[in-house]
């Protein structure tokens, strides 16, 4: 499983391994977690800019998450 999160998502920063315990420990899944700093929700949607609702495109995080996803797929599917 691959999780690409903005830093303001509802993952308790005091327990960064909590999602891994749930996915890896309880479900036995291999997992990767990437968090993008100073990034709002929907950061991969070009042209989106509604920060008062917590929504905004962030080009650097968008590019990085795309490359991360492609690498993850290469790892899974060759």
What digits encode the pLDDT tens for the residues 20-46?
Answer: 667 666 677 777 778 888 899 999 999
> In 7-58, which ranges are continuous DSSP H helix?
18-20
Instruction: List the single range of 17-21, 46-50, 69-73 with lowest mean pLDDT.
Output: 17-21
In degrees rounded to 5, what are phi and psi of residue 70?
-60, -40
What are the helix and strand counts (H, E) for the chain? 2, 4
The verdict on pTM exceeding 0.85 is no
């Amino acid at each position: 499983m691959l999780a690409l999160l903005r830093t303001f998502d509802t993952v308790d920063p005091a327990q960064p391994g909590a999602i891994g315990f749930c996915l890896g420990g309880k479900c036995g899944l291999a997992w990767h977690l990437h968090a993008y700093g100073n990034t709002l929700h929907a950061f991969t949607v070009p042209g989106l800019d509604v920060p008062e609702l917590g929504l905004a495109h962030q080009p650097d995080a968008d590019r990085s998450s795309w490359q991360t996803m492609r690498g993850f797929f290469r790892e899974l599917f060759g």
